Amino acid sequence: MTLSPTRDSEVTPGGPAAARIGLEARAASSTPVTDREWWRTAAIFQVYVRSFADGNGDGIGDLAGVRSRLGYLASLGIDAIWFTPWYRSPLADGGYDVEDYRAIHPDFGTVAEAEALISEAAALGIRTIVDVVPNHVSDQHAWFREALASEPGSDARARFWFRDGKGPNGDLPPGNWPSSFSGSTWTRTMNPDGTPGQWYLHLFTPEQPDLNWDHPDVRREHEDVLRFWFDRGVAGVRIDSAALVAKDPELPEIDGEYAAGQHPNLDRDDLHEIYRGWRTIAEDYSGVLVGEIWLADLKRFALYLRPDEIHMAFNFDFMSRPWGADGFRAAITETLAAHEPVGAPATWVLSNHDVTRPVTRFGRADSAFAFDAKRFGTPSDLVVGARRARAAAMLVAALPGALYVYQGDELGLPEVEDIPLDRLEDPMHFRSGGVDPGRDGCRVPIPWTNDAANAGFSPDGTDAAPWLPQPADWARYSVTAQQDDPTSTLTLYRRMLELRRGDDLQHGAFAWQDDTSDVIAFRRGALLHLTNCGTTNVPLPDDADVVLASGPLTDHTLPADTSVWLAVHSV
C-alpha cells in the first residue's frame, strides 16, 4: 500500500473524527448484562490476586484490595475480570495447585468476600471469570491425602495415576513423559511404614498430582465446582491446561510423532466430550468457558471451539511471533481463518502471568515468546520495547474478537529481571536448575501511587514489604504517576478501550488494506488501523483523520514502531 501525504490532522484522541465514524464509545458503562454474546468482543482484564492490590496491609494482594480498586477497573473500560486461582492452596505453583475449590485462600479472603466482589463488580458492569484447573490438584487436596493413605489399587488411588516403579525394586520411574516444568513427571511415594511405595504422575510439579479423568468422581466433582461458582454469580470459567487433561490409560512412553488425537497426553479426542458436558452446565447459567489451549495446529485448536464446546480460547500463536509485519499478518490471517468455520471469536493476548512482559519482550533481539528460550541476562532495549508494546496493544485492540489484558500491561510495566534469587518462588525457575528465571518477573506487585514505601500496593500508612520485592523505581509506573499524563500508557489504554466500545471496533467488518509492506494496515468499518513495523516514517493518507496514536506522529507521518487509528472520510 502507498500511503499518500496527509492533510493537517490533529492528534486529538477521540475528537470530532472519532464521533463522526461511530468510533465514539457507547455510554461509558459496560455491556448490558442482558447481552448473552458479550464475550465475543469483550475486553477481559486478568487479575493475579496476590500481586494486584493489598487491602489489609500484610504485603499480599487480596480480595479486599481488588474491591478497593474496582473503580479503577471500571474507569479502564473493561468488560470482565479473569481471576487466576484464588482458592485455598499451598501456592507451590502460584495457586494452580488447588487444595479446596470451595474455599478462598485465607491470605486473600473468604467466599463471602468473593461473593461481595462478584456482585460489586457486576454493579459496575464488570463480569467475573474464575480459573478451574482440571488437570491436577494440590498434593494437599483431600483426595490426594486419602490416596496416599490408601492401598495400591484402591479406588482413592484410581482418581490419580499411581503406578508401580520399574526395575527389580520399583526404583525406576514408570514412564518417560517430559514435564512442562522440566524434570521428571513421576514422584515416588512413601508407604505408611516408611518403605518406598508407588509412584504418581504429575505433568507439572510433584505438588500437582494429575487427576484421572476416566474416574467418575473426577468428572462429577468438577461439574459441581463449576456450579458452585456459577451459583455465586460468576460469568465464566477459564479452563487451565485444557488440552492436557485426558490421558491414554496405558500411559505409553512418548515416542515420535502422533496422528491427530493419538498423543498420550495432549489434545486427545476424549477431551471434547468432557467439555461438552461443561458447556451444558455453562449454558444453564449463560456462562462462558475460556480454554487455555497451547496447540500448534490451529485446526485442532479450533475443534475445541465448536458451538457445543468451549466458547473461546487464548490465542498464543500471536504471542509466539516476533515483532514484524509478516509474522503478525500471518498470525492474524491464520487465526481468523481457523475461527471462522466454528463461529467462535478469536482472542488476542499480548501477555499473561506466565510470560515475559511485552515491554521487555519487544525490546529484545528475538521478541517472540517461547518458554524454553527464557534465560537470565537476555538484553532488552526498554525504550524500543515500550514503543512497540504500545503499538502492539493498539494492534490487538483493533482486531475482531475478544481482548485479554494482563494487569500492569496497561501501566507499561517491564519484566522485573533482577529479583534477588533468594526471593524467587516460581517452580519453573527451580526445576530448570536455575537456568530459566521463571515467571516471578511479571508477577511483581502493582505500583499504585508514587509516595508510599511499597508504591501504594498496601493501604495508606502501611509499609509492609510486598511479597515479591518491587524495583526501586517502580513508583514511576504507578497509576498516580500516569493518570493525568496524556502521553502515558495508562491514558493510551483508557482511550483505546473506550474507543474499542464504539461500533466500528465492536462490529466493523475486517478487511486487509495491504499484504506486503512493513505497515500492517486493515479496516474495521470506517476505522483504518496502521502499525509501522518498519524502520522509516511512512506518510499518512490524506483522506483520513487521526483518532488515536500509540506515539507522537511527526510531519503527518507514522514513525517506526507506532500504531494509529484513522477515521476514513470515504466510507
* C-alpha span between 353 and 70 (Å, rounded): 20
Name the residue number minimizing CB distance to Ca ion.
62
Q: Is 440 in the site for ligand NOJ (CB under 6 A)?
A: no
Please state the φ and ψ torsions of residue 101, each to the nearest 5 degrees.
Answer: -70, -15
Q: Which is nearer to ligand NOJ, 135 or 532 (CB)?
A: 135
Asked if residue 133 binds ligand NOJ (CB under 6 A), the reply is yes
Q: In this structure, are residues 185 and 203 in contact, taking their beta carbons and an 8 Å threshold?
A: yes
- Least distance from ligand NOJ to the Cβ atom of residue 229, Å: 17
Q: Which of 292, 309, 436, 504 binds ligand NOJ (CB under 6 A)?
A: 292
What's the order of all strands across the beta sheet hosting 544-549?
510-512, 519-524, 527-532, 562-568, 544-549
Q: Cell 502499525 maps to which residue?
A: 531
Compare residues 84 and 506 and give the one whose CB is closer to ligand NOJ.
84
Options 62, 79, 99, 240, the catalytic residue = 240
Instruction: Tell me if 78 sits within 8 A of 124, measured CB to CB.
Output: no
Dihedral (Cα; 413, 418, 420, 423), 10-degree rounding: 30
**Binding partner of residue 96 among Ca ion, ligand NOJ, none, CB cut-off 5 to 8 Å per kind:** ligand NOJ
Note if 317 is an active site residue.
no
Catalytic residue (one of 113, 210, 267, 292): 292
Out of 60, 81, 244, 281, point to the residue binding Ca ion (CB under 5 A).
Answer: 60
Residue 532 CB, shortest distance to ligand NOJ, in Å, is: 32
First to last CA, the chain: 18
Half-sphere exposure of 73 (CA within 13 A, CB side): 31
Please identify which residue in the block is written with the cell numbers 468428572: 219
Candidates 88-96, 318-326, 415-423, 539-547 — which segment interacts with ligand NOJ by CB under 6 A?
A: 88-96
Q: Which of residues 235-264 bind ligand NOJ (CB under 6 A)?
A: 240-241
Residue 56 touches Ca ion, criterion: CB under 5 A? yes
Is 354 a residue that touches ligand NOJ (CB under 6 A)?
yes
* Residue 150 binding: pick among Ca ion, ligand NOJ, none (C-beta 5-8 Å cut-off by kind): none
* Interaction of residue 464 with Ca ion, rule CB under 5 A: no
Residues 6+ apart with CB under 8 A from 279: 289, 308, 309, 310
d(CA 57, CA 66): 13
Report how far Cα 498 is from the mean position of its chain's Cα atoms. Answer: 21
Please select the residue that binds Ca ion; options are 24, 62, 139, 210, rule is CB under 5 A.
62
Q: Could you tell which of Ca ion, ligand NOJ, none binds residue 410, using a CB distance below 5 to 8 A set by kind?
A: none
Report the candidate in 517, 66, 44, 84 with the shortest Cα–Cα distance to residue 311.
Answer: 44
Which part of the chain contacts ligand NOJ (CB under 6 A), choosing from 93-101, 193-201, 261-269, 475-483? Answer: 93-101
- Whether 197 and 190 have beta carbons less than 8 Å apart is answered as yes
User: Quick one: cell of 475?
Assistant: 513508583
Say which entry of ligand NOJ, Ca ion, none residue 409 contacts (CB below 5 to 8 A, set by partner kind). Answer: none
Question: For residue 14, what are the contacts with CB-CB under 8 A and spacing of at least 6?
Answer: 23, 24, 25, 495, 498, 499, 547, 548
For residue 240, indicate whether it is catalytic. yes
Q: Which is nearer to ligand NOJ, 427 or 456 (CB)?
A: 427
Q: Among residues 58 and 503, whose Cβ is nearest to Ca ion? A: 58
Q: Which does 292 bind (CB under 5 to 8 A by kind): ligand NOJ, Ca ion, none?
A: ligand NOJ
Among 58, 100, 514, 518, binds Ca ion (CB under 5 A): 58
Q: Is 204 in the site for ligand NOJ (CB under 6 A)?
A: yes
Interatomic CA distance for residues 24 and 431, integer angstroms: 49
Residue with cell 494429575: 210
294 binds, among ligand NOJ, Ca ion, none (CB under 5 to 8 A by kind): none
- Give 172's DSSP letter: B
Write out the three cell numbers for 142: 483431600
The residues annotated with a catalytic role in the active site are 240, 292
Q: Which residues bind ligand NOJ (CB under 6 A)?
A: 93-94, 96, 133, 204, 240-241, 292, 353-354
Binding site for Ca ion (CB under 5 A): 54, 56, 58, 60, 62
